[in-house]
Chain A
């Protein structure tokens, strides 16, 4: 009797193990992907959690206790507020200028055949394939050799526009390639001149790509450390502030700002994705 039970449970167990194995085999890719996402998101969780830490010393490495103070006094660390403002100003101007210049280049590259097109393509591609440290170092050498340049706002801005242009071109170009030129021809046939055609037909159609380029440039600019580090003089952007603070132990306020940037960016992207999903659902 008891042995029968034992056999049965062994059977059951084997059945359970086999089922578990079959489940793992079938879902191995899904299980792996979940682990992968955990790996991606754990450092983000650490940033968020430690923004609520109440560190006893100057090192924000070990969890000591929960507090709202870091959020309430987010600008309680000298220099952090001006660094954030500088970063925002630079990112705003750099992304607008770079997207403008980049959109024009993308229009020329996709719409027209002209001498020098291949060279232009290479010129756009090169900054993307140059390590940031070389971009920063070469700009620094230029500015050092021009005696009238003062390091600070203007040098940082120039640097940011420079490395953002290529990203803007690539982003807008991707959208323009699938663009139906007949729409513009129709507008011209109906008597619109080139400028009217551009503002009334072309621009609205490429607007999503231009917006995407704008956001991308803004994100790259506000996150940039290396090129800025070489060309900032004594000005301090937010990443430079973090770098300086890290040497003596970054205060939890750094995590607060990091979390805030993350939440804002994530919300914007999430809204975009949800709109897309709804549109797909409506189309299906």
Chain B
């Protein structure tokens, strides 16, 4: 008899131990430290001390309300744009892709093969003041003679949308691909118009994909600061920019920590409201 036979009930814990321990020490404990830090007062030079400084939270909300609102707004718009833009394509691949499906999916994830920062820099090139896009829009008088795209909210939202698009398209494809096409045919046989069949059959059945895609896009988008930094101006800064500069440039750790928690809290609220609407099992993938 070996060890595993005698201790069957301990086997799962032995398998879990190393990974879960790692996550506990380097994910859960740091969050604890962050929470502790967020209630400290003082500054980098004289040192920080724990004083239950809830004022860090109120001040963060008071001083940076615009950036918080902007983060939610930009992430929300980008998520919606990504959903509307990629749904038809996910549908097309799922139902018309045939044996080319995998190849087409490869095109969808292709942007991920280019380093995140480099593809954002590519957008900087495309939208730059002397670039083709700006010149064309100026010729068409969509933009005024001095008009620009860089350093506008349009550029930031466009960048976010592009960078997280595959996160939306892939789950959409997965849920659409699982739909039995005969269900749609049945609806049409029963005299549903094409639009009706879509709204009453296809769309509800693809809901899990919409939910997963929305979360996968919205969460990283809300915390992003790279697009705002490279494509926007300080007028377009999001809460990520503030957290980043407070932590790494101004060494104002307590208020940066408080802001991180507000961001995380806002996102968790969003996730749980969503979870209540669609069921936790679907969300965490624990259904399997």
Stretch at the interface among B54-62, B200-208, B255-263: B255-263
Interface check B220, CB cutoff 8 A:
yes
Q: Which residues of B contact A36 (CB under 8 A)?
A: 85-86, 88-89
CB distance from A60 to the nearest CB of B (A): 8
Residue of B with least CB distance to A242: B117
> Is the Cβ of A137 less than 8 Å from the Cβ of B256?
yes
> Is the Cβ of B220 less than 8 Å from the Cβ of A132?
yes
> Is the Cβ of A193 less than 8 Å from the Cβ of B240?
no
User: Which residues of A18-73 are within 8 A (CB) of B?
Assistant: 29-30, 32-33, 36-37, 39-44, 46-47, 50, 60-62
Interface check A201, CB cutoff 8 A:
no
Complex CA–CA separation, A134 to B37 (angstroms): 13
Interface check B191, CB cutoff 8 A:
no
Which of B91, B131, B263 makes the CB contact (< 8 A) with A134?
A: B263
Q: Which residues of A contact B225 (CB under 8 A)?
A: 133, 226
Complex CA–CA separation, A144 to B48 (angstroms): 12
CB distance from A223 to the nearest CB of B (A): 6
Stretch at the interface among B141-149, B177-185, B241-249: B241-249
Complex CA–CA separation, A153 to B149 (angstroms): 39
Complex CA–CA separation, A236 to B240 (angstroms): 21
Q: Which residues of B contact A61 (CB under 8 A)?
A: 124-125, 128, 130-131
> Is the Cβ of A195 less than 8 Å from the Cβ of B33?
no
How many chain A residues have a CB neighbour from B under 8 Å? 94
With contact pairs A61-B130, A130-B264, A277-B99 given, residues A40 and B108 touching in the complex (Cβ less than 8 Å): yes
> Is the Cβ of B111 less than 8 Å from the Cβ of A40?
yes
Complex CA–CA separation, A108 to B96 (angstroms): 39
CB distance from A47 to the nearest CB of B (A): 5
Residue of A with least CB distance to B97: A33
CB distance from A255 to the nearest CB of B (A): 7
Q: Which residues of A contact B110 (CB under 8 A)?
A: 40-41, 44, 262, 266
Among B89, B103, B117, B165, the most chain A Cβ lie within 10 Å of the Cβ of B117
> Is the Cβ of A129 less than 8 Å from the Cβ of B267?
yes
> Is the Cβ of B34 less than 8 Å from the Cβ of A277?
no
User: Which residues of B105-144 are within 8 A (CB) of A?
Assistant: 106-119, 121-126, 128, 130-131
With contact pairs A105-B16, A137-B256 given, residues A230 and B247 touching in the complex (Cβ less than 8 Å): yes
Complex CA–CA separation, A60 to B89 (angstroms): 33
> Is the Cβ of B215 less than 8 Å from the Cβ of A40?
no
Residue of A with least CB distance to B105: A273
> Is the Cβ of B284 less than 8 Å from the Cβ of A121?
yes
CB distance from B161 to the nearest CB of A (A): 10
With contact pairs A114-B9, A277-B102 given, residues A43 and B162 touching in the complex (Cβ less than 8 Å): yes
| Size class of the B contact interface (CB-based, 8 Å) | 35 or more
Interface check B219, CB cutoff 8 A:
yes
Interface check B235, CB cutoff 8 A:
no
Residue of A with least CB distance to B3: A194
Q: Which residues of B contact A43 (CB under 8 A)?
A: 111, 114, 119, 122-123, 126, 162
Interface check A107, CB cutoff 8 A:
yes
With contact pairs A61-B128, A177-B288 given, residues A44 and B18 touching in the complex (Cβ less than 8 Å): no
Going nearest first, the 6 A-B pairs with the smallest beta carbon separation are A131-B223, A101-B19, A112-B12, A138-B30, A108-B15, A258-B118
- Please report B residues at the A interface, Cβ cutoff 8 Å: 2, 4-5, 9, 11-13, 15-16, 18-20, 22-24, 26-31, 33-34, 37, 85-86, 88-89, 91-93, 96, 99, 102-103, 106-119, 121-126, 128, 130-131, 162, 165, 215, 219-220, 222-226, 230, 240, 243-244, 247-248, 253, 256-257, 260-261, 263-264, 267-268, 271, 283-286, 288
9 residue pairs from A and B, CB less than 8 Å apart: A30-B96, A33-B89, A43-B114, A47-B119, A102-B19, A129-B267, A134-B263, A141-B253, A277-B99
- Please report A residues at the B interface, Cβ cutoff 8 Å: 29-30, 32-33, 36-37, 39-44, 46-47, 50, 60-62, 101-102, 104-105, 107-108, 110-112, 114, 118, 120-127, 129-135, 137-142, 144-145, 158-159, 161-162, 165-166, 169-170, 173-174, 177, 193-195, 219, 222-223, 225-226, 229-230, 238-239, 242-243, 246, 250, 254-255, 257-258, 261-262, 265-266, 269-270, 273, 276-277, 280-281
